[in-house]
Amino acid sequence: MTTATKTKFIDQIESLPPLPTIVQRILAVTESPDSSADDVAKVLSGDPAVAAKVLRVANSPFYGMSRQVTQVSRAVVMLGSVAVRNLVLGICARDALASPVSHVPEHATLWRHSIAVGSASELIARELGLKPSEEAFVAGLLHDIGQLAMAIFQPETLRVVFRQQGQGIRFLTLERQHFGIDHAEAGCKILTKWGLPEALCRVVRQHHQQEIRPDDPQARLLAVVILADTFAHMLGIGFDLPVGRFRRAVVSAELLGLSESDQFRILERLERRVDEATEMFAGADAANNKPAASTSKRAVWISRKDVSSRHISQLLLEHHGYAVTCVAPDDVERDLSPDDLVVVDLSPQELADAAQIALALARQGRRRIVILIDPSETEAPRQCDPKTGVCHIPRLFTVFDLKWIEEQLLP
């Protein structure tokens, strides 16, 4: 990629037009300690197009109002001034980077992923009692705005990055090679140029960092977005990309005080929430209407942990139509049937034991064996041993990983 091409993209994002005046006016009035809901409603009413979108949002299934809201002032009272502010931010930022053409599938995929991360962030915030939860929604919604800009200005270059990311090179490194900047830094530049709050800019810039500093004022919001991003990728909403190190998601959940059961509850509600949020922005019924998965398949999850200590990725198996049975390594033979998918989940320090268990099963003629690993930055996240047929996938895997496993192992 030439220096001129890299410079062109940076110039393109720096030449983006400002957000509508309504954004700065809403920011100013909501930051004033003397402002009221009426003041916010008056500012909002000054831009009929944005006001109409806020009303549509207020009446969407996402908010579940018991009756129709027809007045801007009523919407502000019902939603709250901060919620309205964040909705205006999200609506205007999204409109500013709407795809100019309809044949850029990457933009549509990124936008749905952004909606999913926003929805998951809002669910996590509500689970934690963080207020306002809409702030988390907007942070999640805009976390990949730099990548949306890449899809708009240089979609072919972004496709090259997607093709190359499976070759053992970190995605952000590829972006910097091709665009001169990664999407996290690009997103921060865009939001800073638009004059959006510094806290939001920082979360967008840091959402791919591997460590979260507990003393960072934005640590909790950053952890919310990182975990939400992981959830969206796990459910296959977005591109087939590694979800990052398992530890990164674990640290985020621990910082937020979310148990495995809390995370299961959020994941179970996420797809429906994404559909509601998509309808909220598009004004159309975007529900997937997917049939309920049958549980005709069975997975045996081998672990030394207590059977009641479930791994969050087990939800993906259940979501994908598997009935999951957890067993200890010593009980494998007793609980195994010929058609089971076997998942070996031992600690990174016990990979030799995991390999022994998998090899013993392979020697018995079983060909549906998966070992969960923590791949390094340079390792391929998915591997299959051609001699034994044993596959390796990330410990925190996604729907894409599971589909790959089924293609490799299942008839």
CATH number at residue 303: 3.40.50.2300
Do 264 and 305 lie in one domain? The reply is: no
Is pLDDT above 90 for 202?
A: yes
- Which CATH number covers residue 192? 1.10.3210.10
Average confidence (pLDDT) over 176-186:
94
Do 12 and 61 lie in one domain? The reply is: yes
Name the more confident of 332 and 190.
190
pLDDT, tens digit, for every residue of 344-362? Answer: 999 888 989 999 999 988 8
Domain contains 291: no
Lowest pLDDT segment from 58-62, 121-125, 245-249: 245-249
| Side chain identity at residue 398, one-letter code | T
Do 243 and 368 lie in one domain? The reply is: no
Is pLDDT above 60 for 23?
A: yes
147: confidence class by pLDDT, cuts 50, 70, 90: very high
Domain contains 216: yes
14/200 Cα distance (integer angstroms): 18
Domain contains 289: no
Per-residue pLDDT, 370:
93
Is pLDDT above 70 for 54?
A: yes
Six-digit token string for 353: 């034991």
Do 270 and 353 lie in one domain? The reply is: no
292/279 Cα distance (integer angstroms): 21
215-238 burial, b if ≥16 CB within 10 A, otherwise e?
eeebbbbbbbbbbbbbbbbbbbbb
Do 232 and 359 lie in one domain? The reply is: no
Per-residue pLDDT, 261:
84
Is pLDDT above 80 for 376?
A: no
H or E segment and range at residue 248:
helix 246-256
Per-residue pLDDT, 283:
47
Is pLDDT above 50 for 287?
A: no
Domain contains 290: no
242: confidence class by pLDDT, cuts 50, 70, 90: low
82/87 Cα distance (integer angstroms): 9
Is pLDDT above 50 for 290?
A: no
Lowest pLDDT segment from 59-68, 112-121, 144-153: 59-68
Average confidence (pLDDT) over 272-301:
64
pLDDT, tens digit, for every residue of 83-111? Answer: 888 788 888 887 888 766 556 788 889 98
Is pLDDT above 50 for 407?
A: yes
Rounded to the nearest integer, the mean pLDDT of the chain is 84
Do 249 and 360 lie in one domain? The reply is: no
**Count of the separate structural domains present in the chain:** 2
Do 343 and 261 lie in one domain? The reply is: no
Q: At what angle do helices 260-282 and 219-234 cross, to 10 degrees?
A: 80
Please say which residue of 282, 313, 328 terminates a domain. 282
288: confidence class by pLDDT, cuts 50, 70, 90: very low
Domain contains 372: yes
Name the more confident of 394 and 295.
394
Do 134 and 261 lie in one domain? The reply is: yes
Domain contains 109: yes
Side by side, the strands of the sheet bearing 369-373 are 322-327, 297-302, 341-344, 369-373, 391-394, 383-384
Average confidence (pLDDT) over 34-58:
87
What domain range is 147 assigned to?
Answer: 3-282
Is pLDDT above 50 for 198?
A: yes
**174, 164 Cβ separation under 8 angstroms:** yes
Residues 6+ apart with CB under 8 A from 65: 58, 59, 78
